[in-house]
Amino acid sequence: MWPELGKYGATVINAYIVTIVATGLLTWLSLRSARKSKETLEKLEARRNG
Amino acid sequence: MSIWEFANPVRFMRFSGKLLPYFSVSAALLIVTGLIWGFFFTPEADQFGSTVKIIYIHVPTAMLAINAWVMMFVASLIWLIRRHHVSALAAKAAAPIGAVMTVVAILTGAIWGQPMWGTYWAWDPRLTSFLVLFIFYLGYMALWTAIEEEDKAADLTSVLAMVGTVFAVLSRYAVNFWNQGLHQGASLSLDKEEHVADVYYLPLLVAIGGFVLLFIALLLLRTRTEIRNRRIRALQAREAR
Amino acid sequence: MSPTLALLARELRLSLRSGGGAGLGLAFFLIVVLLVPFGVGPVPSLLAQIAPGTLWVAALLATLLSLDRLFQADFEDGTLDILTLSPMPLEGLVAIKAFAHWLTTGLPLIVAAPVLALTLNLPDPAFFWLVTSLAAGTPALNFLGAIGASLTVGIRRGGLLLSLLVLPLYIPTLIFGASAVSAAADGADPMPAFLLLAGITLFTLALTPFAAAAALRMHMR
Amino acid sequence: MSLNATDLTCYRSGRLIFSGLSFSLENGQATMLRGPNGVGKSTLLRVLAGVLEADGEVELNGTRLSGDRDAVQEQIAYAGHLDAIKPQLTVAENLTFWAGLFGGRIEDAVEQFSLAEIWDRPAHACSAGQKRRLGLARLMVSERPLWLLDEPTVSLDVETTARFAGIIAQHCAAGGMALIATHIDLGLANPQELLLHPLTEAQHAETADPFLSEDWT
């Protein structure tokens, strides 16, 4: 199943790892800030309406 | 109904909230499909060996790195002309995504260059241009954070996006001139189109589609965050009065 | 006295007075260029090869040094408000201020560059092109700087941000300017690079007053 | 000449400063702009000068600010909180610069504001009152019909204030106009008054900021 990567194996794996880590980090940070702002806003709205 | 209806933040929130899950799921599906297909089920190329598999990540991220800036340029223009807040905030939200894509494109390019050129970094016009683009992203984001009044920040970053676009393009050609002028550039490049045969083309297309959808999903998510932050600050300012 | 001359005279006077920073850029230019041999070693052939780039990069950094005051003082003391009411359009005002800035920072560099080039062992045929390329290229540095200065006016610690914004804009000018000198030093034809350099400068002179004036108006409203 | 403002509404960073403001001034009139702190007097003056943007229309001698801003601005002299003086330059250099830029004559201004005694002094060595005199002298050298003055008498002594009131009266008598935001009585003969009222609670809630929309979900 695992493909034969030959002498360039490390190169290919590294490139994939870098990409996955970077986009994963970006997505995680985006989600985290989204959650934070959503919670803050909900608290504010609740206080305004309640 | 005109497209500008969505420039209203409230309407944008409703509509983007509905779309976001679809974009997220399809982005994940396409990226996973494209990358698995590319990584496991495509043959090696004569010239590149297994490093050809890097195109499935390098090409989409490089495309997004440039197109995110183009999108910021258009969004900034819309803000300057029609003064739709969502447009300015979308440009702000796109910058970090574009910057990360640029970094990934540079890193994957450098990692690929190591076995191909014998060095991680060659002042290849393409790599160099991406480095320049990255600096433009940094400056753009830094200007956003430096100005406290949001509308003023939107105005000024838009001007920077205009000027930056012109000079990013100029730099691209200048860098070409410079590299050829000084020494023969590395002629081997990862994303030269003639190297892409059908076997690689289809999974590449899927991966590109996946990354574009990922960009849209992240853009919607981050724009929503920016809109919420604006509302938070506006509400807090009103309470403080 | 015409408005243009009045403004130009005031700008020159201000930059030559204490705290104006006209001499500072030149001193900075000297120091940067003289530091390079300490960094790379005193080998004449090596210095000769890096001389064009060194001189151009140093010129670029020296220009940057006093840019942050270009509009800052006028913004802080209310002069900018009055200037917008003057018969001169804001675009013209930006152009004159940038031109005055070039007279006090760019021009001295052009004069000092050949002397410093001697210490770097620049080949003889390149001297003419060093001066010519700096004369054709440095105005672009000042005018592009005006964009950065107008964007960062009124920002705390704007000087650092200014460098980050302006330096990438300098890339085309740097490339063509240094290439022209290098080509002359190597016995090649410097004209292609020089013409492109001049083109970039003309383009910049035409574009930047509008961008910088727009940014200043945004700051004031 | 005449100055007409129609339905001026101004927001600063999403906050309403004043709304629906209309008034008109005739030539030969000095008008006191009055109202409590924070009511938007400075903002109004800057809007009229075309430095700030506002909804509504300003018309000076039939020229609309939104139509031809340069033509309107070329009839205006503005003096704000800041004197726009360069401390490195002498009084003479400061004033001749403004005269050169606006194309006016300096003799009258030097005499009226008694600048001769400090003529060659660097501006950084001047007292606050002297700087203010220099700043106001700019009004005369710019030779513009409409003066927009924001607290012009701050740091002036009683005598100079009286003299300045005389200068304003002179300017108006010669067909000029002046709109002056001030807390003190300048002692002008029958000046007009323009009173700005603080916003009501309802107006306070009013906002142009789409991020404060009530139908948020």
pLDDT at B182: 42
Instruction: Categorize the per-residue pLDDT at A48 as very low, low, confident or very high, splitting at 50, 70 and 90.
Output: confident
> Cβ separation of D212 and B235 shorter than 8 Å?
yes
Alpha helices in B42-84 (DSSP H): 55-82
Query: Is B196 a residue whose pLDDT tops 70?
Result: no
- Do D84 and C78 lie within an 8 Å CB cutoff? yes
Q: Helix, strand or coil for residue D82? A: coil
Chain B's closest residue to D208, CA to CA, is B234
Tell me what the pLDDT averaged over chain D comes to: 88
Average pLDDT along chain C: 93
For residues B98-127, average pLDDT: 90
Which of C5, C17, C82 has the most D C-beta neighbours within 10 Å, making it the best mutation to test the interface with D? C82
Judge whether B210 and A19 are in contact, CB under 8 Å: no
Average pLDDT over residues B85-106: 96
For the packed helices C44-65 and C125-151, what is the interaxial angle rounded to 10 degrees? 30
Give the nearest partner residue to C10 out of D97, D102, D144, using CB atoms: D97
Nearest residue of chain B to residue A13 (CA atoms): B54
Confidence at residue B42, expressed as pLDDT on a 0 to 100 scale: 83
Torsion, Cα D21 D25 D29 D31, to 10 degrees, reads: 0
Residue B226 has pLDDT above 90, yes or no: yes
* For residues D86-112, average pLDDT: 91
pLDDT tens profile D148-202: 999 998 888 999 999 999 999 999 988 889 999 988 888 777 778 888 888 877 7
pLDDT of res. A16: 94
% of chain C with per-residue pLDDT over 70: 98
Residue range D41-61, pLDDT digits in tens: 999 999 999 888 888 899 988
d(CA B88, CA C164): 21
Euclidean distance between the first and the last CA atom of chain B, given in angstroms as a whole number: 37
- Which residue has better confidence, C22 or D52? D52
Put the strands of the sheet holding D146-150 in their side by side order. Answer: D76-79, D146-150, D177-181, D30-34, D192-195
Cβ pair B156:C218 closer than 8 A: yes
Between B37-51, C92-106, C162-176, C204-218, the lowest mean confidence (pLDDT) is in B37-51
**What pLDDT does C184 receive?**
94
Q: 């400068």: which residue's tokens?
A: C201
pLDDT, average across residues B9-29: 94
Residue in chain B lying closest to D213 (CA)? B10
Nearest residue of D to residue C217 by CA position?
A: D51
C220 or A2: which leads in pLDDT: C220
B15 Cα distance to chain centroid = 23
Angstrom distance (rounded) from CA B12 to CA B221: 11
- Residue C69 touches chain B, beta carbons under 8 Å: no
Residue pair C50/C178 in contact (Cβ under 8 Å)? The answer is: no
Main-chain phi, psi angles of C187, to 5 degrees: 80, 15
A26 touches chain B (CB under 8 A): yes
A10 falls in which pLDDT band (50, 70, 90)?
Answer: confident
* CA geometry: angle D170, D176, D178, nearest 5 deg: 90
pLDDT of residue A5: 75
CB pairs under 8 A between B and D: 36
Judged against a pLDDT cut of 50, whether residue C1 lies above it is answered with yes
Position B184 pLDDT exceeds 70: no
CA-based angle C39:C45:C51, to the nearest 5?
Answer: 60
Query: What token pair was written down for B93?
Result: 């939200």
Query: What are the extents of the domains in chain C?
Result: 31-220
D interface test, pick of B6, B84, B151 with most D CB neighbours within 10 Å: B151
Read off the tokens for D124: 């950084």
| Banded pLDDT at B185 (limits 50, 70, 90) | very low
- pLDDT for the residue B195: 54
Q: Which domains can be identified in chain B, with CATH numbers?
A: 15-240 (1.20.120)
Task: For residue A3, give both structure tokens.
Answer: 């493909």
**Digit-coded pLDDT (tens) for C74-110:** 999 999 999 999 888 999 999 999 999 999 999 999 9
Cα–Cα distance between D194 and D34 in angstroms, integer?
Answer: 6
**pLDDT bucket at B199, cuts 50 / 70 / 90:** confident
**Whole-number Å distance between alpha carbons of D17 and A45:** 25
Domain range list for chain A? 11-48
Is a pLDDT exceeding 80 seen at residue D119? Answer: yes
The answer to whether C168 contacts B164, with C-beta atoms less than 8 Å apart, is yes
Mutate to test the interface with D, among B6, B227, B231, B239 (most CBs of D within 10 A): B231
Q: Do chains C and A touch (3 or more CB pairs under 8 A)?
A: no
In 3-state terms, what secondary structure has residue B105? Answer: helix
CA-to-CA distance for D52 and D148, rounded, in angstroms? 14
* φ, ψ of residue B83 in degrees (nearest 5): 55, 50
Structure tokens at C195: 């013409």
Gap from C76 CA to chain D (nearest CA, Å): 9
Confidence category of residue B60, pLDDT binned at 50, 70, 90: very high
